[in-house]
Amino acid sequence: MNKTQEKIATALETAFAQHGFAEQGVDALKDATGVSLRTLYKYCPSKEAMIVTALEYRHTRYLNTIFTSSNDSQNNSAEHIFKQIGFWMGEYAPSGCLFHNAVAAYPNSKALSALLTRHKFEVANSLTTALDLKGYEDELLLIHEGLTQSWPLLGDKALVIANKLVSGYLKNRDA
C-alpha cells in the first residue's frame, strides 16, 4: 500500500467509524480523505470499494493491535489478549463492530459479507493460535463475537466474562 492509499484507507476508516456508512455521500468521503475525487476514485471506484478499503485497513490494524503485542510468551495469555480487545473497543469501536455495522447498512453486498466472514474467522484462528486452543475455533469465535457485540452494553464487564469463559477451555486443555 503506497502513502496515498494508506492516507485514503485511514481517513475512510475514521469517517465510517465516526459517521456510519449510510449517511455519508462520496463528496463527504472525498473531503474526509483530503484527496481529489479523481484520486479517490482511482483507488476506490465505488462507495462499496471505499468501505472495503476502510475495513481491510481496519482488519490489519485490529490483528496487529490484538496479537502483535501478544507474540512473546509473557503476553500470550487470555487476560492480556482480552485487555487488548478492551483497549480496541474503548478507543476504536465503542458502538460495536464496524464490520457488522457495514453489513447491516449494506445487507445485499456480497463483498462486505465475505469480508466480515473472513475477518471473523481470521480473528478466531488467531485467538486459537495465540491461546494454543486448537479445536476451539468455533467457541473462540462465539466468545469474541459475544464480547464485541455486547461491548456497547456491558463495557469492561464483557471482558471479564469472556476471559472467564476462555479460562475454562484453558483448564480443560491443561488437565
Q: Confidence class of residue 69 from pLDDT cuts 50, 70 and 90? A: low
pLDDT at 47 over 90: yes
pTM here is: 0.89
Sketch the domain layout of the chain as residue ranges: 3-174
Q: What is the pLDDT, as a whole number, of residue 75? A: 52
Tell whether domain 3-174 is in CATH 3.40.250.10: no
Q: Confidence class of residue 43 from pLDDT cuts 50, 70 and 90? A: very high
Q: What is the pLDDT, as a whole number, of residue 79? A: 84
Q: What is the pLDDT, as a whole number, of residue 157? A: 93
Mean pLDDT of the residues in the chain: 90
Q: Which long-range contacts (CB under 8 A, 24 or more apart) does 146-149 make?
A: 147/82, 147/85, 147/89, 148/85, 148/89, 148/93, 148/96, 148/97, 149/96, 149/97, 149/100
